[in-house]
Amino acid sequence: TQYELDEFTTSKSHVVEILLYAALLSLLVSRDLLDLLTVVADDEIVFPPERWAATFRSHAQLLLHELGEYLGYSPPPLLERLIEDAQKIHQQRPILQERLVTATQPRGEA
C-alpha cells in the first residue's frame, strides 16, 4: 500500500517485475534503516509504521544521494541537464509550440 503499486496501469510483465523488485528493495532498506534508528534512539522513542514509511519516502532522494556518494558514484551534471531540457520542445505538443510562438512575438503581431 505504501508504494501504491495498484496505481500503475500496465500489462507488461517486465514493468510489473521491476516495480515489485523496487518495492521489495525499498522495503528492505527501510526496515534495516529503522532497525538502526531503533538501536541508536532513546528507548522511549517509538516509530509508528505509517509515520516511518512516510518519513522514509520523504527522505528517499537524500538517502539515494548519500548512498551514491558513499559508493563513489558521481552525481549527474544537473545544471547542464536543466539547461538542455529547458530548451527542448516536445514535437508532439503543437499547442505548447503555438503558445511559445505567440508568447515570443512582439505585442503588435500577436
What the block records as the C-alpha cell of 80 is: 547542464
Write down the pLDDT at residue 106: 67
Query: How confident is the prediction along the chain (110 residues), in pLDDT tens digits per residue?
Result: 566 667 777 788 888 888 888 888 888 989 999 999 999 998 888 899 889 988 998 998 898 888 888 888 887 788 888 888 887 766 555 566 666 666 666 666 55
Tell me, what DSSP letter sits at residue 56? H
Alpha-carbon distance of 106 to 110, in angstroms, equals: 7
19, 34 Cβ separation under 8 angstroms:
no
Write down the pLDDT at residue 2: 62
Residues across the chain = 110
What is the reported pTM?
0.56
